[in-house]
Amino acid sequence: MGWSHCSWFYSHPTLGKNGVVALLMVLFAPHIRKYSAGGACMSMARLDGKTVLITGANTGIGKETALDLAIRGARVIMACRDVEKGEEAAASIRRIYCKANVEVRELDLADTSSIRAFAQRFLRGKPTNLIHASQTAPYSLYSALL
């Protein structure tokens, strides 16, 4: 039966048309929210012994990823352009998971010399998994890591 056959529903004495629309929105809101949020990672993989570098790790996706990977046992290098904000984010991760192995390092992806200094000091020769969560495209970071 199509919606055209449901005019009795819209003319419901208590709900009315606006009430029906509001009711449908309330009923479907959780499903719309879940759909628009995208998929969820269901993996239970452990990352003990792995080192992960996350750019833009002081907030948003980068911070959530840092928390998740730290809980999985990885050593997480949180590369942030503002070290103070990075330390605050690291502290909040440690409050959630006290064993979190998170380190904050200064890295401004808009500054090539900052990228080179970072790569030389912390990364050269060490196997590292890179997760890029900042808005700036770090081509020079990739080349600095090679």
Ligand X SMILES: NC(=O)c1ccc[n+]([C@@H]2O[C@H](COP(=O)([O-])OP(=O)(O)OC[C@H]3O[C@@H](n4cnc5c(N)ncnc54)[C@H](OP(=O)(O)O)[C@@H]3O)[C@@H](O)[C@H]2O)c1
- Write out the residues near ligand X by the rule CB under 6 A: 55-56, 58-62, 81-82, 85, 107-110, 133-136
| Identity of the residue, 68 or 82, whose beta carbon is nearer to ligand X in the bound complex | 82
Which residues of 2-138 form beta strands (DSSP E)? 51-55, 75-80, 101-106, 129-132
Instruction: Show the tokens assigned to 82.
Output: 């503002």
Minimum CB separation of residue 72 from ligand X in Å reads: 19
CA distance 138 to 43: 28
* Nearest distance in Å: CB 78, ligand X: 9
Instruction: Compare residues 107 and 119 and give the one whose CB is closer to ligand X.
Output: 107
Question: What is the smallest separation between the CB atom of 9 and ligand X, expressed in angstroms?
Answer: 36
What SS3 class is residue 106? strand
Task: Identify which of 43, 94, 104 has the alpha carbon closest to the alpha carbon of residue 72.
Answer: 43
CB-based closest residue to ligand X: 60
CA 130, chain centre distance (Å): 14
For ligand X, the closer CB: 50 or 85: 85
- Give the gyration radius of the chain's Cα atoms: 23
Nearer to ligand X, 37 or 44 (CB): 37
Q: How far is the CB of 57 from ligand X (least distance, A)?
A: 7
